[in-house]
Amino acid sequence: MAPRIFTAVLVLAVVSFVLLIADSGAAETHVDCDKVMHELVNGKSALEVANDLGISASAVYDCENAKAATVRRGIPSPVPSASVPSAPASPD
């Protein structure tokens, strides 16, 4: 019985160690969004960019979304804000 418990504990420890290493490696991957956007602007699809740069397709989409959010922050809204009431025209 003791060898079975020892083997089970050993297997659990090895699997935990492998999962810990795999998880920490994925967190260290840095995506160069400027390079991603350059590739997309030059006509490549998100999947092609992901394969070429060795990143996931979701990382490509994250870069696209981050770029779009940056652009939206820089462009004023064409609709006036509802919080500022417009002044009535003077009857003069």
Residues 18-64 pLDDT 10s:
776 665 554 446 889 999 999 999 999 999 999 999 999 999 999 99
Instruction: Give the predicted TM-score (pTM) of the model.
Output: 0.50
CB-based contact 53:35 (threshold 8 Å): yes
Domains parsed from the chain with CATH numbers: 29-73 (1.10.10)
Q: Name the DSSP letter for residue 54.
A: T
Structure confidence at residue 83 as a pLDDT band (50, 70, 90): low
